Structure 1
Amino acid sequence: MKSKLMKYILLMLIVLWASCNNGNGNSDAYGNFETNEVMVSSQASGQIIQLNLREGLTLSAGEIVGCIDTNALHLKKQQLFAMMQGSQSRNPNIGAQIEVLKQQKSVQEKEKNRIAGLVKEGAATQKNLDDITGAIQVIDKQIESLQTQFEPVSSDLKSLNVQVDQVNDQIQKSLIASPINGVVLDKYSEMGEVTAPGRPLFKIAPLDTMILRVFVSGDQLPKVKLAQTVTVFVDKNEKENTKLSGTVSWISPTAEFTPKIIQTKEERVNLVYAVKVLVVNDGSLKIGMPGEIKFSEK
């Protein structure tokens, strides 16, 4: 009877030892999974006339999911175009007149070069050369006069073009788009609500790769290196863990007190270093889920 009891006790000890060595008791560091969350805020003011969003929706970078009312902006754009047409109609022929004078100047300059050659050969007089030079100078004065008249119109058109560009930029910012590839975590606004610049619309985060933030002691720090591959354990059930591979992406340069999420007060007063480990998510990893790492699996 005692023999059977001893065998039973021995069997239970073996089971307990195996479970303790399945990543539950020999891990080097502990922490929780997180990700780089992005808060998407409104860049325009007005009523949200479209918002195709729900929590858990997967979005691609640049994907448009909604729009803020742009009716007032389109009306302002039409007004600016009308003002541009009005400015151009005040002096419709100035540009054409300048072009005609430039062509005349080009012809006269060719004639001047020809006469200058004849003067050298004695086949033309200096007066002929002076007359053609004077004619070119007159054309230059006419062009200068027309350009002076055209400058206010040109300045007005440049100013109006800048205003049109500003309106186009505001219209573009009225489109609600995802800045990254990721999954919508939270939704803060609904279609029909009035929003303003800086007001949060939704939160999105990439979940294809998760970050396990763990804390190591000063004694463990020499074992940790950037780009180092480590073994990651997450809970599979009450007795088993799932083993994954991770890569160290960041090591804190300064020590801090152990975060309050650590259970015992004795551990919370210790100074530790934060370490981030990138882990490819197969769909089982969630934000806030606990995890453990081993620097080298024996």
Structure 2
Amino acid sequence: RRRREVAALGAREDALRQAEQQTAQARGGLSEAEARLGQLSPAAPSAARVEEIFFRPGEWAAANAPIMALLPDREVKLVFFVPEAEMARYRPGRTVGFSCDGCAAPGSARITWVSPRPEFTPPILYSKGSRDRLVYRVEALPANAATLNPGLPVDVAPLEADQ
């Protein structure tokens, strides 16, 4: 009878406690490994395109040195110049239409910034026809930024006065 009682009592409670401790230890090891992985291979903070790669696999980089340059889609913008005579129509918040070579369809962009000061026409201005000598720089965020390549020349449709 004593042997049966000892066999029935056994080390079940001790074995359960030991298994729970091993599980907690394994969870701690997993969280440590995940933290180390996050430090060694960080993810981009948002969807972005790779603009430039400074170091390739196998090359050594100094601590805290950038490995690559990223351009988030939300930072792709249209930059165009508006003649002084039409400047009053262009205000932040308004929408302009644009097209580009190779674009499937015309796009739209919301104006985010208009220069408060005029400047002279840049020496290289990708546009059709002639421009006035005094222009204002305008920046707009396109709706389809992920499909546009930075530096791509675009044709911006002039805004109408009653828009």
TM class by smaller structure:
0.5 to 0.7
| Residue ranges of structure 1 left out of the alignment (5+ in a row) | 1-171
Matched ranges for 1:213-228 at <5 A: 213-228=79-94
Amino acid at match of 1:199: A
**Matched residues in 1 for 2:69 and 2:40: separation?**
18
Superposition deviation, residue 208 in structure 1? 6.1
4+ long deviations beyond 6 Å? none
Amino acid at match of 2:83: S
**Matched residues in 2 for 1:282 and 1:263: separation?**
19
Superposition deviation, residue 296 in structure 1? 3.2
SS at match of 1:195: coil
Superposition deviation, residue 286 in structure 1? 1.3
Cα displacement string for residues 262-291 of structure 1 (whole angstroms, at most 9, x for unaligned residues): 279xx6892311101111227542111111
Structure number with larger C-alpha Rg: 1
Matched ranges for 1:126-165 at <5 A: none
C-alpha change, 1:269 and 1:219, in structure 2 (3 Å) is closer
**Matched residues in 2 for 1:198 and 1:285: separation?**
31
1:210–1:280 contact (8 Å) kept in structure 2 = no
Which of 54, 67, 76 matches 1:210? 76
- Equivalent residue number for residue 235 of structure 1: 101
Superposition deviation, residue 209 in structure 1? 6.9
SS at match of 2:88: helix
Please provide the CA RMSD for this pair.
3.4
2:76–2:141 contact (8 Å) kept in structure 1 = yes
Matched, 1:253 2:129: no
Which of 263, 274, 288 matches 2:137? 274
1:180–1:206 contact (8 Å) kept in structure 2 = yes
SS at match of 2:58: coil
C-alpha change, 1:183 and 1:284, in structure 2 (3 Å) is closer
- Decide which structure has greater helix share: 1
Amino acid at match of 2:85: D
Matched, 1:196 2:59: no
Larger relative CO (CA 8 A, sep 6+): 1 or 2? 1
Sequence identity (%): 27
**Matched residues in 2 for 1:284 and 1:191: separation?**
28
Superposition deviation, residue 213 in structure 1? 0.3
> TM-score when scaled to structure 2?
0.60
Figure out how many residues of one structure are paired with residues of the other and give that number: 123
- Equivalent residue number for residue 90 of structure 1: none
Amino acid at match of 2:154: G
- Equivalent residue number for residue 285 of structure 1: 148
C-alpha change, 1:184 and 1:291, in structure 2 (3 Å) is same
